[in-house]
Amino acid sequence: MSLINDVINKFCDSSLPDYPFSNILRHRIYLKYIKRIQRIKPLDLMVYNKEIAIQTLTKEYGWKPYPQKHFESRFTKFFEGYWLPERFGFDTRRVQFSSLILTNQLTRDEALEKLSKPSYDKEKIRDEFNYIASKLEINSSELEKYFNMPKYFYWDYKNQFSLFNFGAKVLQKIGVEKSIKR
């Protein structure tokens, strides 16, 4: 919350009194270990095959697949396909392909081949830029200004990263959380 509050204090004229903030200590410690509330993720218990899902949706409902996950809207297509990779170097396909590789639905080489090509059409990106700007009710030069402005990261604001790291190490030490090896 300290990060959100710092951003609000620096950039907003008013606070967000009605916005329901959540405390990570409540979720990670109190609810899980003190109240013993378990999160159940039923979708994690199901076998998922992307191709079978596409075939079923197409056959049963006449659904038409789009070129990439979350490209069902022009905004998410622009944001995930252009803005994130070009501005921040973050390509959401890496996470999506990773899941498919782990479930043997895609090979690493196939994923690398797909990642070698941009997920947006370079010929049409200017039109998309103009469209998104109009939807945001700004002109494309203002959107361009946002695209090119200096980047800020969580460490540029007050945050609780060291507290999260400390808490994770304590939970790993006492054996209630697994460590993530990279």
Domain count, the chain: 2
pLDDT in tens, 134-151: 999 999 999 999 999 999
Average pLDDT in the chain: 90
- 73 and 113 housed in the same domain: yes
- 145 and 165 housed in the same domain: no
* Residue 31 contacts residue 39 (beta carbons within 8 Å): no
Is residue 50 a part of any domain in this protein? no
**Dihedral sign, Cα of residue 116, residue 120, residue 121, residue 123:** negative
- State pTM to two decimals: 0.76
Q: Which DSSP string do the residues of 123-159 spell out, in sequence order?
A: TTHHHHHHHHHHHTTS-HHHHHHHHHSPP--GGGS--
- 164 and 133 housed in the same domain: no
Q: Which residue has the tokens 């994130």?
A: 84
pLDDT in tens, 63-77: 998 888 888 899 999
* Residue at 105: amino acid letter: Q
